[in-house]
Each structure stands twice: as C-alpha cells, then as structure tokens.
Amino acid sequence: MITLSLIGIGTGNPGHITLAAVRALNHADLILLPRKGEAKSDLIDLRRLLCDQLLEQPASAKIVEFDLPRRDNRSHYLSAVDDWHTKIAEVWAQLMDQQLPNGGKVGMLIWGDPSLYDSSLRIVQRLRHSGRPVKVQVVPGITSLQVLTAEHQIPLNALAEPVQITTGRRLRERGWPSDAATVAVMLDSGGAFTTLPSEDTYIWWGAYLGMEKQCLMKGWLGEVGAEIIEQRAALREAHGWIMDIYLLAKRPLL
C-alpha cells in the first residue's frame, strides 16, 4: 500500500511552510520532485531548497526528481488537460513501483494548496481508477491568493459581499461575474483584465509572490493596467517564466 502525502508548500517561501507540512515531509520514505524544464528551473530549485532546510539530518527519505510530461497545447483545452493528467499518473505509478515496490510513504511538494487550482487530487483519482490502492493525506498550504492580500494589506472580500475565484480564460470569455463584488483571477496567460471597463475597476496584482523577486502593483485599471502588462512582459523575459495573480473590485476594499 502506498500512502501519498500531497504537501502544500505555498509559494516556496520557507517561512510559509506549516508544521504539519514539515512533519509529513520527514515521515516520507520517498519524495518526488517534478522538473518542468529549464525555463522553470526556479521551481525545482525552491523544492530542493525546502528539502535541504526542512528534512532532518540524516534524512531517511529518498529524493527522486522526474521530468513532468508536457501538455499538448494544440488540442482542445479540456481534452488536452485530461490526456496530460493521465500521462502524469502513469509517471507517478512507474516511479512508485520502481522506488517502493513493497509500499511505503510518498511525499509530493505541491505549489500553493492541493485544493486550489491544482491537479494533484485529480491525478490521484486516475491512480485509483487504474486499480492501484493509494491512501491519500492532504496537507494544506498557504495559497498565492492569501499572500497577495497579505502583501497588499487588504481583505479578500468587500464587507458582506461575495468573492469569485476564476481563471484568465473564463474572465475573457464571460467578463465580470454578475454576482461577485470582488474577483480573484488565477492562471491568466496575460492581460485578461483588459477586457473589463478600465474606468471603474480596481486591481491588486502580484507576481512571484513570496519569493525574493516578488513584484506588486495596484490602482485603477485605466491608470496601471498598461503598466502591469509591460512589467509582466519584462519580468517574463528576465526570468524565463512568470507566475502571477490579481484581485479585482469595483472600488478599493479599504
């Protein structure tokens, strides 16, 4: 039997790792670290750093790195993601069979939190549907949305009003959600907020949240929207990748 711990590590800042995450990491027999290509080497480097800093010495866990399968961006989005998840599940299963043929505890460091716009739990379901017995432990992590509001020193919601969390793709397709006072946007390939009225929409934006290269901007879209687009492009060019998130409202929250 494999016990798989999906360990939320927040944005990679060691100060954001919970005691429960440290405990789960140190109880693992095997820790799997995904590589996402040279352009995103910062992500594997941060995971390596966390293992170096948080594992007790001498560490009992074996650390194995693997190349994450690439998603086919030419196909329909949902079908491409479905195929991608299946390929990842196959890689996980192969590594578990190779490294822990008699079972044991596996730890996976999940960016942010395993329950918020992360696919790990869906990939686990594919393992189970294939007939593989897997016991799962989910260790919550601090999300980029929490870090965004903390760094901007704002509440997530307007007083007594609802919040909607969505993606850049959905914002482009559907515009402002009719029943939301504030909208948190994740997984935006860039500039979905430009589809909204710029004169009455306020934005709190952040990139590389929790990291040393963190960048924050805020203001009315008409005043800072173009600057955010320009800054985002410059940061992506400088670092080879970017991870950003933003919160939108019809007025400042404080």
Q: Where are the domains of the chain?
A: 2-139, 144-249
Helices (H) and strands (E) in the chain, counts: 7, 10
Tell me the fold of 2-139. Cobalt-precorrin-4 Transmethylase; domain 1 (3.40.1010)
Longest dimension (CA), the chain: 61
What share of the chain has pLDDT > 70, as a percent? Answer: 99
Q: How confident is the model at residue 39 (pLDDT cuts 50, 70, 90)?
A: low
Element (DSSP H or E) covering residue 215: strand 215-220
Fold of domain 144-249: 3.30.950
Both tokens of residue 51?
A: 């293992």
Look at the block and give the residue holding tokens 């601090």.
142
Most confident region among 39-43, 78-82, 180-184, 239-243 by mean pLDDT: 180-184
Whole-number Å distance between alpha carbons of 22 and 3: 16
Query: Is residue 58's pLDDT more than 90?
Result: no
